[in-house]
Structure 1
Amino acid sequence: MQTKALKCKIAGTGAWGSYFENWSALQALLGGADLPEAKLKSPKPGIIPANERRRAPLPVKLAVESSWQATQDAGVEPNTLTCVFVSGLGDTDLTDYMCKTLASEHKELSPTKFHNSVHNAPAGYWTISTGTMSAANSVAGYEESVSLTILEAMIQCETENVPMLLTFYDAPVADILTPVLPNQETFAFSLVIYPHDADVEGKVLTAMVNQQEDASWPALNADSTYLTEMYAQNPAAKVLCVAELLNQPDGQITIPLSSGTSLTLACEG
């Protein structure tokens, strides 16, 4: 059984990873281009003031850089957008630091590291840096983080008739957690969406919730070990199947949403 379809228009895209620094570079890799020889270390989002940027952890830099790219691609003022940020893992380096500190004899936590450890830190950096006064939600759903975020944002976009910023990001996992969370790749991806009838350029994305229907993540079409391994291990990188969908003239995929439900996405235009 399916629910009523949701529709939106994709107006802007941003991306950042170890071997791509924008959406165009990621599109090239999805299309079969060779990996660059040099691996990128960390983005340097200019929207964050220099002092704060030096203290910002990698997940924050990933999310803010990708978000900024998407808003520039859409030609929209960042502070006009309602936001949904998502990470399947959060900042595991800071989680590891806090656990070790609290288990030690000296339990004083760094105030800076503590405030950066909260799950909505990237959303906070973004809204403060851009002066955004609209709502900014932070989501976590591990392997289903991507589908939950797309549904959340498309519902808000349609019911409130407002443009939205969606940002997906996950950083490499702290060493101590790699036996259970093997991700070692850096990834961020952002979309700016508008109501489907808005007078802006962009492809139309349709979403339909399927009840009582499980699904598995579809295989990527890209012939790239780097992308397929990241797709398998980095929760935020599950959005790569959506990126492939947007990189085609049209198409359709079905992705997991929760136990007993799935989300079908179709793209045209």
Structure 2
Amino acid sequence: MITFNIAQWRAWAPGLESAHDWHAWCLAPVALPASNVSPDVSFLPAMQRRRLSRLARMAFSVGWPLAEGLEDLPLVFISRHGETPRTLDILSDLANDQPLSPTQFSLSVHNAVIGLWSILRNETSEMTALAAAGDGLEHGMLEAAALLNEGAPAVLLVITEEQPPEAYANWIHDVPFPYALGLLLTPGDEWQLELNSGAVQLTQTQWPHALNLLRTLLTEQVACQHAWKNRVWNWQRKP
């Protein structure tokens, strides 16, 4: 079991930017229409913004405000699927015998976001990029808890998923719309996360677990549960 506090949060999805927007969505969640809208990252230099995919922009849009004024802030970045649009572009170029773009490749790898974060913030603290199947959020929380246990006063956790291209529709079913969630975690015991293992009846949920956790947070519920394979993760907070 691990314990922690959620000091602050930020989230983004097309049409959902403010805390008020997210409170309303959490009370009555609905699927969002397809959109090419990207979050505002005007706090970054224009030349740097041009290099960022929407996935990276989502990560920066939720993480940057939470990191404001904090130095030596470790980052845990989580994405199950990563830069699927960039990856498809690279594969399409290969299939068509086109030369590959070194820039496209360097920005498609899973740790590209934390590399850009380190450069743009001049941040040299520990950073981890995870892709951990259906319970990546929980694995990210374990990583963050380890950093807090080692003495970090705070850890920034960012989880984000991009809407995959149509070519992946038969394989990727857990991204109803693009989203990003940032959590600023600090030591404490307001929340606890516990793992139980055994035979699990996996239930299909409409929303990604990161958004279900946000619903738990914003609707003042005291518990939520997430099952994946033979693992059951129990989230509990003090009432």
TM over 0.5: yes
From 177, 198, 202, the counterpart of 2:168: 177
Seen in structure 2, the aligned counterparts of structure 1 residues 52 and 8 have a Cα distance that, compared at 3 Å, is same
From 179, 182, 188, the counterpart of 1:187: 179
From 151, 157, 173, the counterpart of 1:166: 157
Q: CA shift at 1:115, angstroms?
A: 1.1
Q: Could you report, residue by residue, the CA deviation over 1:80-119 in whole angstroms, capped at 9, with x for unpaired residues?
A: 311100111111111111112223233x211221111011
TM-score (norm 2): 0.88
Which deviates more, 90-99 or 237-246? Answer: 237-246
Seen in structure 2, the aligned counterparts of structure 1 residues 44 and 82 have a Cα distance that, compared at 3 Å, is same
Query: Which secondary structure state, in structure 2, belongs to the residue aligned with residue 55 of structure 1?
Result: coil
Distance 2:197 2:30 in 1: 40
Which deviates more, 121-130 or 58-67? Answer: 121-130
- Structure 1, gaps ≥5 residues long: 198-203, 220-227, 232-236
Contact 1:16 1:65 in 2 (8 A): yes
- Structure 2, gaps ≥5 residues long: none
Q: What is the Cα-based RMSD across aligned positions, in Å?
A: 2.6
State the partner residue of 1:6: 2
Q: CA shift at 1:180, angstroms?
A: 1.9
Distance 1:55 1:25 in 2: 28
State the partner residue of 1:267: 237
Contact 2:27 2:219 in 1 (8 A): no
How many pairs were matched up?
238
Q: CA shift at 1:212, angstroms?
A: 2.6
The AA in structure 1 aligned to 2:192 is T
Q: CA shift at 1:254, angstroms?
A: 2.0
Seen in structure 2, the aligned counterparts of structure 1 residues 46 and 194 have a Cα distance that, compared at 3 Å, is same
State the partner residue of 1:223: none
Q: CA shift at 1:18, angstroms?
A: 1.1
Distance 1:93 1:249 in 2: 36
Q: Does 1:244 align with 2:215?
A: yes
State the partner residue of 2:111: 120
Q: Could you report, residue by residue, the CA deviation over 1:59-96 in whole angstroms, capped at 9, with x for unpaired residues?
A: 10011111123335xxx42x431110011111111111
State the partner residue of 1:210: 196
Query: Which secondary structure state, in structure 1, belongs to the residue aligned with residue 50 of structure 2?
Result: helix
Q: CA shift at 1:159, angstroms?
A: 4.0
Contact 1:215 1:254 in 2 (8 A): no
State the partner residue of 2:100: 109
TM-score (norm 1): 0.79
Distance 2:201 2:138 in 1: 12
Q: Report 1:20-99 matches (<5 A).
A: 20-32=16-28, 41-72=37-68, 76-77=69-70, 79-99=71-91
